[in-house]
Structures are given as C-alpha cells and as structure tokens.
Chains A and B, each alone.
Chain A
Amino acid sequence: MTSMAATPLIRIRGVGKRYGSVTALADVSLDIHHNEFFALLGPSGCGKTTLLRAIAGFEDPDEGSITLTTGDTQPADAGEVDLLALPPNRRPVNLMFQSYALFPHMTVSANIAYGLEREGLARSEIARRVADVLVTVDLQDKASARPRQLSGGQRQRVALARAIVKRPKVLLLDEPLSALDRRVRADMQVELKRLQHEVGITFVVVTHDQEEAMSMADRIAVMEHGRISQIADPVTLYQRPVSAAVADFIGMSTIIPGQAAVDGFTALGERLPAAPSGVIGPALLVIRPEDVRLHADDPTDAAMGSLSGTVLATHFFGGTSTTTVTVAGLGRPVLATQIGPPAHRIGAVVRVGWPAERAIVLPDTP
C-alpha cells in the first residue's frame, strides 16, 4: 500500500456543516486510501454519521470538498470526481444503513437485484451477479425469503450483499453491527473483515464502539464535537493518543492530572515515573491498566513508585483480572490488569507503579 498513499481514493477537505447553532462538522479533512478499512469513531453526536451521509450524498456540507479518485491506482489515469456535485443515486459509493433498510415488500434476491436493475444491466447479467453475491455472503438458500423471515445477522448480510453487488468504489457502513446481539456481532466482525479482503472494496465504517473499530479497521479517525481529534492505526492510537480525550475513549486508562517539567512529572506532591514528552506546565499522565503493577505495601521497597492505595474491587474475567485501587488525592481510581486471578484482596494496601516509558504525558488543555 505504499504507492497508494500518494493518491487517496477519497479526499475530504475542510468540510463543515451546521444545523442552526449546532456545529455537526467543523473543518474536517482526511484521506481514505484504496482498499483500506477505515473507521470513523466517536461518541454519538460527534458528527461521524453526518460525515458518512455527506459522502453518500444525504447531507449537503456548508463548506469544503469531497472528491473521489477515479480510474486505477496509477496516478497517470487518475481523475478526480467532485462527489458533492452528484446526487446520491449517481455517486459510485454505497451506504449500508444502520437499520439495513431492506425493502420489506421484496424478496432477498429482488432486494439485491434492485441496484443492478437501476444500472440497466441485462437480466442474465443481473441474475448471475445476484447468485454470485449470495454465495459470497452464504445466503444461497434464502434467495426467495422476505426480509422479515430472516434473523438479524442474515438481514445484515443481505444489506451487505445489496451494497457490494453494485461494486462501489467505497462501501460506507453506518453502525453495521449495532443491531446484532453480542455473539453474532463478534462473528460478523470477522466476517466483515474477510469480505472486505475478498471483494477488494474500500470500507468506511461509522461506529461508537471502540473495540469494534480497533479490531476491524486499518486506520481510525477519532471524532469529537464535529472535529477530528486523531487519525492513526489502532496501535498508534492506543499507545500514542494525542489527547486525554482520545486516550479515555480508546481502551481503559487511568488519567492523573499534575505538572510536567523538563525533569519529569509531578502529581500529589510526588514525582511519578513518566516518559519524556517535552510538555511543560499543566499536564495529564495516561497509564493503561495492563502497564500498572501492584505490590503488597512494603515501605522498604523504594524502587516501586511512591503512590500507594487501597484495593477497592477486583474483577476476574477468566484469562485476566482487573483490580481497582483508590489512591488518596486522585479523583478516579487506578485500574490494574494482570494475567490470571487477582493477586490482592479487597481492602489490602498496595503500592502502585508502572514502567516510566509506558506512561504518556499529555498537555492538559480543557
């Protein structure tokens, strides 16, 4: 994917959208590359769905541009299409709706054929492609069923088939798994990823579920209040969040407010282990639960950090366990995850420490 970085498939520049006094999108710019699995992640109301609908053509941005590269990945024959100038029915992108929006009065195969019929393809060609895509989503035996006769997972696969059968440049998916129950959801995460590889279509997924985004996407754009906070691959996002808000949203974390100086980070009157950051002044220290170490309180152990607290609760999840420790002076408890059952009992006094290089210092900007 190295050469593709030069010509993004979708180029979004300075897109803004307001509803009255509410800003849904503010100066959003991002690139989506060929064959990428891209996720727009954020809490509800952060503008991610508005952005997706703007790409599909159901929202008209007040400002900015959204362009799509046509032709092949070679820069030579690549042209750019102004998506915003096209009505939704003429955009080479397809949207899979959160409700799936299957036509209730049509059979599964009629639903899938609908988009191909609009292209004016020959009947035999339509029949062949519908049959093919039914195999792809493993619904051959449901061709003549009605949507209401299908399970949630099957409906989702029909919606997916209806969209990919059009061979769009980009498939947009609005909260594709939110209507499914937990067990089916895990299967469909794997399934979506497999399909994306199989059909070779760029996927843009909107989700509020960070686990879903982390497990499926190649890159994730974290959105907040209509703005993009950070665009990165899942690992970078987790290990190098640019703000406490991103750190808080992606995975579990403990955030300790304090002061950063050239020689380290200070909170609660103590020097705490922290990675060098270049941040000076009010700062936040972010530590992931799996990096936190707990030791039975032993005043002679000077090597362990100087924070100590009381075990408030323990949770055993089978493979791992999480211990919640309250530290005097900290508003929120410190979380520590370890492999195996919890090693400390509730009420025990423990020392809390972590390797300095795993603790990220971020500027404390309200």
Chain B
Amino acid sequence: MPDRTRTGTGTRRPVERGLGWLRLPLIGAFGFLYLPIAVLVVMSFNASSIPFVWTGFSLQWYPTLASNPQVLQGLLNTLVVAVAATVGATILGTLLAVGLARYTRSVLLEAYSLAPAIIPDLVLAIGLLILFTSIGLTLSLFSVVLAHIVFGMAFVAAVVTARIGQTDPSLEEASRDLGATGPTTFLRITVPSLAPAIIAGALLVFTLSLDEFVIAFFTDGPRTPTLPIVIYSMVRFGVTPEINALGALLLLVSFTVVLAAQRITRLTDAL
C-alpha cells in the first residue's frame, strides 16, 4: 500500500485509495448483483427466438411485445393497480406516520405499523385471500389494490416517520401560535415539510406495486391478470426474448422511479 497516504487534496468525500486487489470483492459483489439483469437486457436484443443462444442484434422483440394484446392488457391492469394503490397507500401511510408521531410514544405500535412491509408476502397474501373470501369480496383488480395498499402504506409510513424525526416539532406549534387552526396547520405546514418523504414513499410504492407478484397472484380475479401474472403464465411455456424485452422495459421504469425518489430525498436534505 504505497500511496495510502495520498488521499487526494481537496477531495470532499474521504474515499480510500490504493486498495488494489482489495477492490475485487466490491467488483465481484456488483457483478453478482447485476449480471442476471445484464444478461436479460442483452438477450432482449437477441435476433434468435431461442433466448439463450446469441445469433445477432435485433430490436424485433419490442414491436412484437407491443402487439401482444395479453401483455398490453396486463400492463394496463398493472398501471391501474399501481396508481390506485400509490394514491391510497400514500394518503393512509402519511396519516399513519403523523398520527403515530403525534399521539403515541409506543415503540411497539410503530413496529406494528411497519410489519406489513417486512412479513413474508406469502403470509400476507394468504391472510388477505382468507379475509376477502370470508367477507364475500369478489376477487378483482379492486382487491389487488386493497392488498397493495396494505403493504404500501407500511412503506410510506416508514419513510415519512423517518422524515418526521428530522423535522422541528415546533413548526406546527409555531403555526398554531400564529393563529392557524389544526387543519390549516396540517395542510400548510405539516404536509409541505413532509412533502419530499411523501413523494419518495409514493414512488417507492409505485415501483413495488408495479412488479408485485405473490400478493397479486392470490388476491387477483382470473379475468384481470396484472403484468407479473401475465409474464408468469407466458414463462410456463418457456422464456422467450419477448419476455426479456418486457423485463428490460420494467427495469427501465423501476430504475427511473427509484433514482427520482433518491434525488428528491437528497434535495430535501439540502433544505
């Protein structure tokens, strides 16, 4: 480690230099993380219809995908679910976080509010299925939306709770002190000061709902499959480059949204 001391003059982040071969695990870990995804994206441009034999570059699978009515309908269903679940989960999750912060000091209650985000999807899915059938709710996109709101609001609550912890509690008191009523304070002070976290939480729920399979599989009706369910049924007859193309597109959407969420949370820290 000859140049260990040369940490660079004027570098703001202290990045270790001169690690040499010690960088290998880092590169290896990233390779392990992204190799499958890279393979999928590369293979979506494969001319051959056999998905694991590369014969040449082609964009043909993307138009093919766009003309598949099954896929288009699945995409539409998924978007409906994702938007509705995002709206519902964001509103309820924000209220949950604010309520928890304001009216309880119970750590247990806070943990319970986050549980749906952590407990196995399968458990939540089976529980929701039993609940929906026992109250006589017909399984449809509506039941998927309800199910996605359940775990989605836990994620929103987690993000917003973290933000509340960083917010000056006297902001709301100052608003009251200046003559604002409770509702005015909530809309003019509480929501704007939490807005970055609320938006980040919403984007998170949107991406999670977009590719959620297990819970949707259990709570969806047979005539309105969401995109992950459509893909699943296609894969049962073999993986085609068409599915690779679809995966690549979903990846693009998720990446964009996650980056946006991260960007927004970083903006708020500057505030």
Contact = CB atoms under 8 A, between A and B. Distances in A.
- With most chain B CB atoms within 10 A of its CB, the pick from A103, A115, A166 is A103
Nearest to A97: B170
B173 A88 contact: yes
7 tightest A-B contacts by CB?
A: A115-B178, A118-B179, A101-B174, A101-B170, A97-B170, A105-B192, A88-B176
Contacts of B195: 105
- With most chain A CB atoms within 10 A of its CB, the pick from B168, B178, B189, B271 is B178
A57 B173 CA distance: 10
A19 to B, nearest CB: 13
Given A89-B177, A118-B180, A99 B193 contact: no
B179 A103 contact: no
Given A103-B193, A105-B193, A97 B174 contact: yes
Nearest to B172: A101
Contacts of A97: 170, 173-174
Interface string A157-200: 00000110010000000000000000000000000000000000
A263 interface: no
Q: Is the interface of B mostly helix, strand, loop or mixed?
A: helix
B182 to A, nearest CB: 8
A114 B177 contact: no
Contacts of B176: 57-58, 87-89
A162 B170 CA distance: 14
A88 B184 CA distance: 14
B271 A115 contact: no
Contacts, number: 62
A56 interface: yes
B77 interface: no
A95 interface: yes
Nearest to A92: B179
A199 B93 CA distance: 45
A58 B173 contact: yes
Interface in A95-149: 95, 97-99, 101-105, 114-115, 118-119, 148
A162 B176 CA distance: 13
Nearest to A112: B178
Nearest to B181: A89
Interface residues of A, number: 25
B49 interface: no
Contacts of B181: 89
Interface of A: 56-58, 87-90, 94-95, 97-99, 101-105, 114-115, 118-119, 148, 162-163, 166
A162 B178 contact: yes
Interface of B: 168, 170-171, 173-181, 184, 188-189, 192-193, 195, 271
B178 A114 contact: yes
B271 A103 contact: no
B164 to A, nearest CB: 14
Contacts of B177: 56-58, 88-89, 94-95
Nearest to A174: B170
Contacts of A56: 177
Nearest to B192: A105
A89 B170 contact: no
B179 A166 contact: yes
A103 B176 CA distance: 12
B221 to A, nearest CB: 43
Given A99-B168, A105-B271, A148-B271, A118 B184 contact: yes
Contacts of B171: 101, 103
Contacts of B184: 118
B178 A94 contact: yes
Given A105-B271, A118-B184, A89 B173 contact: no
A119 B184 CA distance: 12
A88 B271 CA distance: 28
24 contacts: A57-B176, A57-B177, A58-B173, A58-B176, A88-B173, A89-B177, A89-B178, A89-B180, A89-B181, A94-B177, A94-B178, A95-B173, A95-B177, A97-B173, A97-B174, A101-B168, A101-B174, A105-B271, A114-B188, A115-B178, A115-B179, A148-B271, A166-B178, A166-B179
